[in-house]
Structure 1
Amino acid sequence: MTKRIAIGLTEGFADWECALLMASARTYFGFEVVPASPGGSAVTSMGGLNVTPAAAVETVTPAEYDALVLCGGTIWETDAAPDMSAQIRAFHEAGRPVGAICGATLALARAGVLDHSGHTSNAAEFLATAPEYRGHALYRDQPQAVRDGNLITAPGTAPITFTAEIYRALGFHNPELDHYVKLYGREHG
């Protein structure tokens, strides 16, 4: 059965942070990648890429999708950040993978799912800006993505390991994935 991944995009999303995941999942591994945004509205990335999502993020459920991934962007640091807590908690409670990179880790902090799982982000101080955040003791200061069960987090500089950990959380781990990580991470030696 084809895996379905919902990718949460917001206005001003950081193009590069989920690009490798979206492209490789769809093209190389045959997953269905479904861009979703608040209200299903069209969004424009930091780089000017216009996207008309196939779904409204509010309608994305763990019964229909195998994973929920939130792309970073500067909106997460503002009052305009969408509240995706209900969707995040639903996926987390259903045992489905939930991933967030860069600024989107703030959405996980606000939803409370980082309070009991190992995680990372752009910096510990960055997550501390979310008043709801109680996971300080579980923060891991490292440049790679962190996966704790089905929760995947990454700083904005780690799209390669973020992609790999999403795949691993979906049960997709084989020599081809290892090759992919080595190939795209080669410059980081």
Structure 2
Amino acid sequence: MTAIVIALTEEFADWECALLMATARSYLGVTVKTASADGGPVTSMGGLKVVPDLSYAAVSPKDFDALVVPGGLAWENQVVPETLDGLIRAFHGGDRVVAGICAAASMLAGSGALNDVAHTGNRLASHAKYPAYDGADLYVDTPKAVRGGKVITAAGTAPYTFAVEVLKGLGLWDKTAEEEFAAFPAEHRDESR
């Protein structure tokens, strides 16, 4: 059975991982677990209080097929747990799916995970702040998520395509997933024409 772990930080952007989590767990039978730095509760930007299943230290690439990191205010407030970088490196080095959206995409840049794959994020300048980032030539300026092998990135405005690309990266994009996601893009159609 496929298993995903969502690495949460204090004031994480709850909407950036919600669609992925709900669809994977409820419709595709995926095991979805959450983790925080110490395994203790965290509160999202929207005030959602989450009691995670695990601490980062208890998360291993042997037990999960993907690590998903939503963005949030932890980066802005400079309170990102130092252990999150090691977790990203372990999953990337373990040939697992690694996905980051919004500020977390820039954290993937800082871990070196974006140096050799097509990727995106909020802004190239956000990635460039990290000394380990050397992938500017592979940056794709797009409002949609980008999948480069087993690495998925997106701007914070793209939780829908982020969820789609994570499911595709895990080989879970099937008829059920397509049906569950089919209605979401309709909101963005220009019906004034």
Partner of 2:134: 134
After superposition, residues 49-68 of structure 1 pair within 5 angstroms as: 49-68=48-67
Q: Residue 146 of structure 2 contacts residue 152 of structure 2 at CA under 8 Å; is this kept in 1?
A: yes
Deviation at 1:108, TM superposition (A): 0.6
Partner of 1:45: 44
Q: Residue 161 of structure 1 contacts residue 181 of structure 1 at CA under 8 Å; is this kept in 2?
A: no
Deviation at 1:130, TM superposition (A): 2.2
In the alignment of these two chains, the number of paired residues is 188
Offset from partner CA, 1:122-168 (integer Å, 9 cap, x none): 11112222233221111100011000110000011111111011111
Q: Residue 17 of structure 1 contacts residue 159 of structure 1 at CA under 8 Å; is this kept in 2?
A: yes
Partner of 2:164: 164
Q: What is the alpha-carbon distance in structure 1 between the residues aligned to residue 58 and residue 111 of structure 2?
A: 17
Partner of 2:14: 15
Report sequence identity in percent: 46
One-letter amino acid of the counterpart of residue 122, structure 1 = N
Deviation at 1:85, TM superposition (A): 2.0
Deviation at 1:52, TM superposition (A): 0.6
CA RMSD of aligned residues (A): 1.3
Q: Residue 6 of structure 1 contacts residue 33 of structure 1 at CA under 8 Å; is this kept in 2?
A: yes
Which 4+ stretches in 1 moved above 3 angstroms? none
Structure showing greater radius of gyration is 2
Q: Residue 101 of structure 1 contacts residue 153 of structure 1 at CA under 8 Å; is this kept in 2?
A: yes
Q: What is the alpha-carbon distance in structure 1 between the residues aligned to residue 76 and residue 127 of structure 2?
A: 10
Q: What is the alpha-carbon distance in structure 2 between the residues aligned to residue 157 and residue 58 of structure 1?
A: 30
Partner of 1:6: 5
Partner of 2:102: 102
Q: Please, what TM-score do these two structures have when normalized by structure 2?
A: 0.92
> For structure 2, which runs of at least 5 residues remain unmatched after alignment?
none
Q: What is the alpha-carbon distance in structure 2 between the residues aligned to residue 58 and residue 68 of structure 1?
A: 13
Q: Please, what TM-score do these two structures have when normalized by structure 1?
A: 0.94
